[in-house]
Amino acid sequence: AQSVAQPEDQVNVAEGNPLTVKCTYSVSGNPYLFWYVQYPNRGLQFLLKYITGDNLVKGSYGFEAEFNKSQTSFHLKKPSALVSDSALYFCAVRTMDSNYQLIWGAGTKLIIKP
């Protein structure tokens, strides 16, 4: 079965430190990979995506993610965390075998402490 795993329910980072939110996937076929962010009482917002090409993709708010095919991972990163980055982050993957529907991870709560 195709799946997406976000192994950490919560990540705590001090403001100014680098952050990483992990995502691994198990799918057949070439994956399209996405990161979304959900702020409290808001809908999900698109952050970035990997379709093809350079394994390092840059997105909104200074976030980036690295596609690693051999490790089937797509970790979200930011060099210097802000308190305002505190939110719920979702990884999602889509393939032709999923009829192009998104398969979602369970989400990781990111808490940035001043």
Partner 1 sequence: DADVTQTPRNRITKTGKRIMLECSQTKGHDRMYWYRQDPGLGLRLIYYSFDVKDINKGEISDGYSVSRQAQAKFSLSLESAIPNQTALYFCATSDLLLNEQFFGPGTRLTVL
Interacting residues toward partner 1 by CB under 8 A: 9, 32, 34, 36, 41-46, 49, 90, 94, 100-102, 104-107
User: In the complex, what is the shortest distance from the CB of residue 18 to partner 1, in angstroms, rounded to a whole number?
Assistant: 25
Least Å distance, CB 34 to partner 1, is 6
Secondary structure of residue 2 in the 3-state scheme: coil
Phi, psi (deg, nearest 5) at residue 60: -75, 155
Residue closer to partner 1 by CB (options 52, 70) is 52
Shortest distance in whole angstroms from residue 33 CB to partner 1 = 11
Q: Which is nearer to partner 1, 46 or 61 (CB)?
A: 46
The answer to whether 38 and 90 are in contact (CB under 8 A) is yes
Of the pair 14, 102, the CB lying nearest partner 1 is at 102
Smallest distance, Å, CB 68 to partner 1? 21
DSSP string over 9-63? SEEEEETTS-EEE--EEE-SSPPEEEEEEE-TTS-EEEEEEE-SS-SEEE-GGG-
